[in-house]
């Protein structure tokens, strides 16, 4: 695995000269954030050695290199999901490459189902913590000591300082922000009504099909993580006609402008 990470990193360095410290991952329907980026170079996943290729509608599959708020960033437009059939190693591969490129900050967004009674569809939730319900951990197998320890700490998995800054930004810009625990599971089926209730009872505020594997890997390598979920549907009061992926995409893209404010101001404030 290390050889592949090094080869892909060398390829990207050569093509882009990237020397930034910030990676941004855009979830379902959130691709519009790229309008905030002064694009310098774009690489399709298909042309990057060892990179998997996305299959799901709403994820276009490219790495964008450029500037946001004057800082160099790499933006991952379209992420890899376990339900697409990738292994944990494949779907967390980009995070490892980012670290080797010199990235220290991993900012992510996702679409999620709300299971906190006070949440409304369209809300933004800063992720304070997660519950791994994938039934698997991406660090299972040989540990690469060069990348991180065998038993990484997950106490501050979603960096406290970045969360605090996000709430200050939200206040300054009159953006309503929630905070809560993200339950990550494989999908691709949405949850049954009983499952949504269960995840609420065990302490979750939102459920989704991504994020947890990448965040574990990012923490293994001591990256600082910040994550926001767009609440795209209400798990406790399921809409008439049931849950639909197209509704998820529609709501996520409507919430995009609020997310843009939080991300771009946060990037401005990050001291590197």
**Which residue in 64, 75, 91, 207 binds ligand HPA (CB under 6 A)?**
207
Asked if 132 touches ligand HPA (CB under 6 A), the answer is no
**Which residue in 124, 233, 255, 256 binds ligand HPA (CB under 6 A)?**
233
* Residue range at the interface with ligand HPA (CB under 6 A); choices 8-16, 65-73, 109-117, 219-227: 109-117
Q: Going by C-beta distance under 8 Å and a sequence separation of 6 or more, which residues neighbour residue 88?
A: 82, 136, 137, 138, 140, 213
245 is catalytic: yes
* Residue range at the interface with ligand HPA (CB under 6 A); choices 15-23, 105-113, 118-126, 160-168: 105-113
The rounded Cα 93 to chain-centroid distance in angstroms is: 14
Residue written as token pair 């980012």:
98
Asked if 94 touches ligand HPA (CB under 6 A), the answer is no
Annotated catalytic residue within 59, 86, 109, 158: 59
**Which residue in 20, 31, 66, 235 binds ligand HPA (CB under 6 A)?**
235
Which CB sits closer to ligand HPA, 103 or 207?
207
- What is the greatest pairwise CA distance in the chain? 51
Annotated catalytic residue within 40, 50, 83, 154: 83
What does 146-205 look like in DSSP terms, one character per residue? TT--SS---TTSS-HHHHHHHHHHHHHTT---EEEEEEE---SSPPPHHHHHHHHHTT-S
Identify the helix (H) or strand (E) that includes residue 225.
strand 224-234
229 is catalytic: no
174 is catalytic: no
Asked if 159 touches ligand HPA (CB under 6 A), the answer is no
Q: Measured from the CB of residue 212, what is the shortest distance to ligand HPA in angstroms?
A: 12
111 is catalytic: yes
Residues 164-193 that bind ligand HPA (CB under 6 A): 187, 190-191
Asked if 248 touches ligand HPA (CB under 6 A), the answer is yes
Cβ burial of 55 (10 Å; 0-12, 13-18, 19+) is middle
Q: Going by C-beta distance under 8 Å and a sequence separation of 6 or more, which residues neighbour residue 247?
A: 232, 233, 239
Q: Measured from the CB of residue 190, what is the shortest distance to ligand HPA in angstroms?
A: 5
Annotated catalytic residue within 209, 218, 252, 255: 209
**Which residue in 58, 113, 204, 256 binds ligand HPA (CB under 6 A)?**
113
User: What distance in Å separates the CA atoms of residue 195 and residue 206, rounded to the nearest whole number?
Assistant: 12
Tally DSSP H helices, then E strands, for the chain: 7, 9
84 is catalytic: yes
Query: What does the buried/exposed string (b/e) look like for 150-183 if buried means 16 or more CB atoms within 10 Å of the residue's CB?
Result: eebeeeebbbeebbebbeebbeeeebebbbbbbb
Annotated catalytic residue within 81, 109, 191, 229: 81
* Residue range at the interface with ligand HPA (CB under 6 A); choices 40-48, 111-119, 170-178, 254-262: 111-119
Q: Interface with ligand HPA by CB under 6 A: which residues?
A: 111-113, 187, 190-191, 207-209, 232-233, 235, 243, 248
Which residues are known catalytic residues? Answer: 28, 59, 81, 83-84, 111, 209-210, 233, 245
């Amino acid at each position: 695995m290390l050889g592949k990470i090094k080869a892909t990193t060398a390829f990207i360095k050569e093509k882009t000269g990237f020397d930034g410290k910030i990676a941004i991952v855009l979830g379902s329907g959130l691709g519009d954030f790229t309008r905030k980026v002064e694009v310098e170079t774009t690489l399709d996943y298909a042309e990057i050695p060892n990179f998997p290729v996305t299959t799901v509608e709403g994820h276009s599959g490219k790495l964008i290199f450029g500037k946001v708020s004057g800082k160099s960033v790499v933006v991952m437009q379209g992420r890899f999901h376990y339900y697409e059939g990738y292994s944990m190693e494949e779907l967390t591969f980009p995070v490892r490459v980012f670290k080797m490129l010199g990235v220290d900050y991993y900012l992510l967004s996702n679409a999620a189902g709300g299971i906190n009674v006070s949440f409304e569809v369209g809300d933004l939730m800063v992720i304070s913590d997660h519950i791994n319900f994938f039934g698997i951990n991406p660090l299972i197998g040989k540990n690469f000591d060069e990348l991180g320890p065998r038993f990484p700490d997950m106490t501050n998995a979603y960096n406290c300082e970045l969360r605090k800054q996000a709430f200050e930004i939200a206040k300054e810009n009159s953006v309503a922000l929630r905070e809560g625990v993200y339950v990550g599971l494989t999908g691709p089926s949405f949850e049954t009504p009983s499952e949504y209730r269960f995840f609420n009872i065990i302490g979750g505020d939102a459920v989704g099909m991504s994020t947890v594997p990448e965040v574990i890997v990012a923490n293994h390598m001591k990256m600082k993580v910040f994550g926001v979920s767009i609440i795209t549907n209400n798990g406790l009061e399921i809409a008439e006609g049931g849950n639909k992926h197209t509704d998820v995409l529609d709501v996520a893209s409507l919430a995009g402008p609020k997310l843009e404010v939080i991300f771009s101001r946060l990037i401005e404030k990050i001291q590197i």
